[in-house]
Structure 1
Amino acid sequence: MESKVSEGGLNVTLTIRLLMHGKEVGSIIGKKGETVKKMREESGARINISEGNCPERIVTITGPTDAIFKAFAMIAYKFEEDITNSMSNSTATSKPPVTLRLVVPASQCGSLIGKGGSKIKEIRESTGAQVQVAGDMLPNSTERAVTISGTPDAIIQCVKQICVVMLESPPKGATIPYRPKPASTPVIFAGGQAYTIQGQYAIPHPDQLTKLHQLAMQQTPFTPLGQTTPAFPGLDASPPASTHELTIPNDLIGCIIGRQGTKINEIRQMSGAQIKIANATEGSSERQITITGTPANISLAQYLINAR
């Protein structure tokens, strides 16, 4: 099977999508776009990088299979070079593996995993790369992330095998592609403060507040009957507190509570919500979490708990 692919026996045009962090994308684009230009020229593959000021970007590689493998090889070696360079300043002795994240339609993940995990096991064993298929789909899409890590050579062999699987079992039905959200979107209001979510942290969002403040100043204060103080909608009147309940599997509760409760306290502080975790009940594999606060506080707390 292998030789057939590399000799171009399967010279079909394929598209493979990769999910990368901003820093990784920067490394592939290079100064003034020189690196990506070189990759395009040498591999013969089309390499497109999604727009944006998103923390995550999609890199789409399209072309005949051999061009795709060349592009992948160049990306894997570039990442290895980045790791080596970053290691030269650090004291770590063992070199971390190169990691790539593919975005694969969920309908093809079954074939990739194989019956009882047989296919993915075979790929791991024959290439020496670690392959992990995410259990959940990426937000607002029908795609899943497939994480490959190992040496560049192991990754290239692994990508070849994944391409073969994808060619043998095309996606079923329509695929809703994953589109990363811009960094500026999820602005969450909690306790009169605006936060943007970056990775797993909520960062106070400065310009959002000034905008709100200006808006509030422009609004002509309306005076409800029998009330003489101008009421800015939403500034003093805090919405009534409500309660939301979640159940979390016992084996995950540790990452939410953190060492000596550090994580849960962090979530409480950031969200401004009250969070109570029920004691484990016998025979139950889940714990009940009760979140109390304004709807905004609750949604922020939920977001942070899910992120954990």
Structure 2
Amino acid sequence: MNWFSLLFQKGETVKKMREESGARINISEGNCPERIVTITGPTDAIFKAFAMIAYKFEEDITNSMSNSTATSKPPVTLRLVVPASQCGSLIGKGGSKIKEIRESTGAQVQVAGDMLPNSTERAVTISGTPDAIIQCVKQICVVMLESPPKGATIPYRPKPASTPVIFAGGQAYTIQGQYAIPHPDLTKLHQLAMQQTPFTPLGQTTPAFPGLDASPPASTHELTIPNDLIGCIIGRQGTKINEIRQMSGAQIKIANATEGSSERQITITGTPANISLAQYLINARLTSEVTGMGAL
């Protein structure tokens, strides 16, 4: 067994685990709500590292219950990341293999039906006592050794956590933990957009004066985005692009994919300030995706 990965909700000091297990334990970097912990080494070392992590999780649960009114202790839960091509063997014909693992170890095992975002891997969730989890992992390892992955595996990489942006008192702030941090660049662009975007209260209309237009003429700007990055601009069900439209005041249209083209065209229409703010927000999303900074 060369390596195994699990999803891990918070960072841990692993020096002691490395020394005592003899396994290499690496934790992925980045401002992400999930971290990937990769364990490499001989099979025995991997199992020992898993045991230490499972018992550490149980210790954290016990400690958290000391300040809680809950009477029953929740099970330890780990999420393994497994190539999708191996999940069939893990489930077995008619679910026979996964049923056998559940019954023989006492652990609850669930294999996700869908692949993790932008990868060819699926999550396998294991819940139970530390001893049940260790036995379960051992059996899963045996199955994976007997049925190697087929084809290339695209590993799952958690996306950086997006940082909320709020506007208050004419200033822009990014939320980091419990604090609102002033964002001078975004503030400047937002103020320009507000100065040049007419605001009409609900139920009122702006009087029309012949030959006088209170707002600057709209202009159009076009840019191209690689197909593999357009998803981070659009967001789930269009949430991100709608946020950018609302924050910038610009009209933003994304062209449909063209056969044979690796790029998508984005057309931004509005005042110069609207367009500048929209471009800034789009670039922030791209920077977050490419560098893992999670800027917006």
**What TM bracket, shorter-length normalisation?**
0.5 to 0.7
Structure 1: how far apart are the matches of 2:211 and 2:53?
49
Give per-residue Cα distances to partners, 1:27-69, cap 9 Å, x unaligned: 9999999840000000011100000111111111111110000
Q: Structure 1 residue 301 and structure 2 residue 278: aligned?
A: yes
Q: Give the direction of change, closer, same or farther, for the CA distance of 1:84–1:53 in structure 2 (3 Å limit).
A: same
CA distance in 1, matches of 2:144, 2:5: 28
Shift of 1:118: 0.3
More displaced 10-residue stretch of structure 1: 176-185 or 48-57: 176-185
1 CA distance for matches of 2:253 and 2:260?
20
Unaligned runs of at least 5 residues, structure 1? 1-23
Superposition TM-score, scaled by structure 1 size: 0.55
Contact 1:130 1:148 in 2 (8 A): yes
Distance 1:178 1:92, change over 3 A: same
Deviations 1:76-100 (A, max 9, x none): 0000000000011111111100000
Q: Could you list the per-position Cα deviations for residues 146-179 of structure 1 after superposition, in whole angstroms to 9, with x for gaps in the alignment?
A: 0000000000000000000111101000000000
Give 2:150's aligned residue: 172
- The CA deviation string for residues 272-294 of structure 1, in whole angstroms up to 9 with x for no partner, is 99999999999999999999999
Task: Identify the range of structure 1 (131-140 vs 279-288) with the bigger mean alpha-carbon deviation.
Answer: 279-288
TM-aligned CA distance change 1:276 to 1:57, over 3 Å: same
Residue 298 to residue 102, structure 1, CA distance change in 2 (3 Å): farther
Unaligned runs of 5+ in 2: 286-296
Give 1:137-216 correspondences, 5 Å limit: 137-184=115-162, 209-210=186-187, 212-213=189-190, 216=193
TM superposition shift of 1:210: 2.6
Change (3 A) 1:98 1:259: same
Which stretch has the larger CA shift, 254-263 or 157-166?
Answer: 254-263
The answer as to whether partners of 1:100 and 1:147 remain within 8 angstroms in 2 is: yes
Q: Distance in 2 between matches of 1:168 and 1:71?
A: 22
Q: TM-score, normalised by structure 2?
A: 0.57
2-structure distance, mates of 1:306, 1:112: 42
Query: Is the 2:3–2:41 contact (alpha carbons within 8 Å) kept by the matching residues of 1?
Result: no
Change in 2 beyond 3 A, CA 1:109/1:66:
same
| Contact map agreement 1:107 1:172 (CA 8 A) in 2 | yes
Percent of matched pairs sharing the same residue: 98
Matched, 1:127 2:99: no
Q: Is the 8 A contact 2:218 2:270 kept in 1?
A: yes
Structure 1 pair 282–83 and aligned structure 2 pair: CA distance change class (3 A): farther
CA distance in 1, matches of 2:235, 2:72: 27
- Bigger Rg, structure 1 or 2: 2
Q: Given the superposition, is the C-alpha separation of residues 232 and 59 from structure 1 closer, same or farther in structure 2, using an over 3 Å criterion? A: farther
Structure 2 CA distance, aligned partners of 1:56 and 1:242? 42
Q: Secondary structure at the match of 2:224?
A: strand
Kindly indicate whether the alpha-carbon contact (under 8 Å) linking 1:131 and 1:146 is maintained by their aligned counterparts in 2: yes
Q: 1:146 and 1:261, CA in 2 relative to 1: closer, same or farther beyond 3 A?
A: closer
- Closer, same or farther in 2 for the Cα pair 1:158/1:267, shift >3 Å? farther
Kept in 1, the 8 Å contact 2:120–2:156? The answer is: yes
* Counterparts in 2 of 1:186 and 1:32: CA distance versus 1, 3 Å: closer
Alpha-carbon distance between aligned partners in 1 of 2:53 and 2:187, rounded to the nearest angstrom: 42
Q: Distance in 1 between the 2:246 and 2:199 partners?
A: 34
Q: Structure 1 residues 89 and 161 mapped into 2: Cα distance closer, same or farther (>3 Å)?
A: same
Cα RMSD, aligned residues only: 12.0
Q: Is the alpha carbon distance of 1:259 and 1:57 closer, same or farther for their aligned partners in structure 2, counting shifts above 3 Å? A: closer
Summarize the Cα distance change of 1:284–1:41 in structure 2 as closer, same or farther, 3 Å threshold.
closer
Q: 1:228 to 1:89 in 2, by over 3 A?
A: closer
Does the C-alpha gap of structure 1 residues 227 and 286 become closer, same or farther in structure 2, counting only changes over 3 Å? Answer: closer
1:268 CA drift (Å): 16
Distance 2:131 2:213 in 1: 60
**CA displacement 1:108-160 (0-9 Å, x = unmatched):** 00000000000000000000000000011100000000000000000000000
C-alpha spacing 1:247/1:161, structure 2 compared with 1 (3 Å)? farther
Contact 1:223 1:231 in 2 (8 A): no
Q: Determine whether 1:266 maps to 2:246.
A: no
Matching residue of 1:252: 229
Q: 1:49 to 1:288 in 2, by over 3 A?
A: closer
Q: Is 290-299 or 160-169 further displaced after alignment?
A: 290-299
Mark the CA change 1:241 to 1:104 in structure 2 (over 3 Å): closer, same or farther: farther
SS of the aligned residue for 1:116 comes to helix
2:132 & 2:122 partners in 1: Cα distance? 21
Question: Equivalent residue of 1:29, what SS?
Answer: strand
* Pairwise CA distance, 1:221: 13
Asked whether the 8 Å contact 1:200–1:304 carries over to 2, the reply is: no
